[in-house]
A and B are shown apart, each in its own frame.
Chain A
């Protein structure tokens, strides 16, 4: 029986020739990730257990990004816990303010994850690295602690659902729209416990940045992981950033899938997820006059350089609507710096946006743009749950960066075409 790319990576990390879906395994990990919210809990558990040393100080990544730069005294304490632990254990991949970025944008950028790796992170969007052809998944703090101790973690080998995207993308449609559309089709539990494998001509045509947006949101369909088989673009991306040896895996032709979906991209327009679940997606053309108070462009889903360029393309020589607050957050220092070099930050500020240092900030209702009762925001983030960005009676809509930027200009959820057309 053939194996999927996911089965192959798991088998190799368990020292087995074959693993089947449903099987429980104890696998070796290549990278263990934690942030300022989840790592302190793991660190406490680590010490409580009596353990003195992490299994491998090169294979742990600590990224304070959620409430960093420290938003209040409690967050400062949490960041300090992480920092003290990193210094004491000599953790190589600890990222202080000034070097840090949103973890899931940062790890690939720094070449810390390569194809064929098995990565766990105490953060649900750890599934992002599947775009590199790695198996990566979010776990809890105890898992993180146990993995820092043993270098191993238990898994149930997931079944895989295959998604094939045929055809070419329509104008303004991005990887973000493909994943929103997919979640709209299968629902927020449509891939529960499973791996999502994305393939097809439309996926091949996407840049790495857009592929990351897709695998990033696999968890929003309940999936354990999302994965895209590596190709020349993947290899180029990795070789520019990493010296780590990598392994290219591919699914066998006779691999078994629990389901296969085929989508025709010519039918997909830019998507918007309405409150309060990412599955409430509709095409932009069916949105009718939804006024917004805030737009956020950033996060581990859409805070990369191409996202910034897409927003800048719309915002050039435009002004943010007087009733809208536009908050733009490049995901990492490298993205931020690149934006400065390309004159993108200037475009943002001239348009009337505020630009922040890399942080998760408003994405999870932390800080840097919390919503008041009754307010509506359009964000390029990944979750629009009740209270996600502030008051329980506020609302979050999700979209790609170009739609978000256009909406900031129009003061209502709008298609990029409206702005580009008006600009002429």
Chain B
């Protein structure tokens, strides 16, 4: 998985309530959720999201509730990959489990400016800031997680195991 795009930035401690406010949780339709992504954070942010773009965030991204609607809304909005200083742990799990590529890399985040061009190799964890001519290594995923991702997420992983057991 290789991503190449301009980046959009957001700050620290972006919580799941501003990623997708609870008042929209009476739906789990990705399109509907994507229509309200970041509504309470910055109404202008949504306008900047182009298909395939990379979101670069501060620390503790996705803190708050366990709603899987948050990574689903982000993925459905067209964002291809999220790079953050750190992720809140449930968000981290949910992103892997639904197949939203995420990477943690403090330096890449700190040196990035809105609009910089990034190339991200998800397999190896290599991040390149083309605009600034800098590259970083976020580290690849451990084999266990890679297996979940290659199987297409935790559900396919579980379904496959069920088949093997029967």
Contacts and interface: CB of A to CB of B under 8 A. Distances in A.
A140 B66 contact: yes
Interface residues of A, number: 48
B40 A222 contact: no
A24 B144 contact: yes
Nearest to B91: A140
Interface size class of B (residues with CB under 8 A): 35 or more
A124 B98 CA distance: 17
Chain A residues touching B, majority SS? loop
Interface of A: 24, 37-38, 40-41, 44-45, 48-51, 67, 72, 74-75, 78, 122-124, 126, 138-143, 145-146, 149-150, 154, 188-189, 192-193, 219, 222, 224, 277, 364-366, 383, 385-388, 392
Q: Which of A37, A49, A123, A140 has the most CB of B within 10 A?
A: A140
B60 A149 contact: no
A224 B88 CA distance: 9
B159 interface: yes
B13 A49 contact: no
B21 interface: yes
Given A365-B23, A386-B17, A387-B17, A142 B60 contact: no
B26 A142 contact: no
A139 B95 CA distance: 11
Given A145-B158, A189-B59, A138 B66 contact: yes
Contact of A142 (B21, B144, B155): B155
A149 B158 CA distance: 7
B129 interface: no
A273 B28 CA distance: 31
Nearest to B41: A386
Interface string B6-22: 00000001010110011
A24 B145 contact: yes
A192 B86 contact: yes
B101 to A, nearest CB: 15
Contacts of A141: 68, 94
B155 A222 contact: no
B90 A364 contact: no
Contacts of A78: 26
B90 A139 contact: yes
Contact of B157 (A40, A146, A189, A192): A146
Nearest to A142: B97
29 contacts: A37-B25, A38-B67, A41-B68, A49-B156, A78-B26, A123-B65, A124-B65, A124-B90, A126-B66, A138-B90, A140-B67, A140-B68, A140-B98, A142-B68, A142-B98, A143-B94, A146-B158, A154-B148, A188-B13, A188-B63, A222-B89, A366-B22, A383-B64, A383-B65, A386-B15, A387-B21, A387-B40, A388-B17, A388-B22
